[in-house]
Amino acid sequence: MKFLVINGVNLARTGKRERGVYGEETLDTINSELQAFVKAHGHEADFFQSDVEGELCAKIGQADGNYDGIVLNAGAYTHYSYALRDAIAGVSTPVVEVHMSNVHAREEFRNTSVLTEVCRGEVLGFGKNSYKLALESFWL
């Protein structure tokens, strides 16, 4: 299977920002580990990051039909982007929503996701392993 791992706004700064919440590893390090993880299970993955909402929507649209699954950490867009929600609703490729932190144990605005309803499922609170669990969900 072939997967697309998408990271949204501010996630390029993983390992530099709020390390107590998101850990000390950079996004490149995490993505390398995910690449190895996926390969070890006989699958493939591409990676994309953008801080720009429209670029994330366009990428999801372009991915439609070209991947078996999308793993998406939309960052703060999760909580209010109807554009991203529509992008996900508009593709047949299943999307699994991911968060490294337990968003339900944080500020109230993070308790709401406008994306979950149009996603296949959601994995949160397990740091970088949230991505691994989300990927695994496609082949388990």
Query: Quick one: 73 or 81, whose CB is closer to ligand DQA?
Result: 73
What the block records as the tokens of 56 is: 């994330």
Considering the rule CB under 6 A, would residue 73 count as an interface residue with ligand DQA?
yes
Per-position b or e across 70-80, b if 16+ CB within 10 A of its CB: bbbbbbebbbe
Give Cα 64 to chain centroid, integer Å: 16
The one catalytic residue in 67, 77, 99, 131 is: 99
Number of residues forming the site for ligand DQA (CB under 6 A):
10
What's the rounded Cα separation, in Å, for the pair 43 and 5?
13
Q: By C-alpha distance, which of 120, 68, 119 is closest to 93? A: 68
Does the annotation mark 79 as catalytic?
A: no
Considering the rule CB under 6 A, would residue 49 count as an interface residue with ligand DQA?
no
Sign of the four-CA dihedral 86, 88, 73, 97: positive
Q: Please, what is the end-to-end C-alpha distance for the chain in angstroms? A: 12
In the set 60, 63, 75, 87, which binds ligand DQA (CB under 6 A)? 75
CB of 8 to ligand DQA, least distance (A): 7
Q: Specify the stretch interacting with ligand DQA by CB under 6 A; choose among 27-35, 52-60, 64-72, 93-101.
A: 93-101
Q: Specify the stretch interacting with ligand DQA by CB under 6 A; choose among 32-40, 53-61, 63-71, 96-104.
A: 96-104
Does the annotation mark 22 as catalytic?
A: yes
Q: Which residues bind ligand DQA (CB under 6 A)?
A: 10, 73, 75-76, 78, 99-101, 103, 110
Active site residues: 22, 99
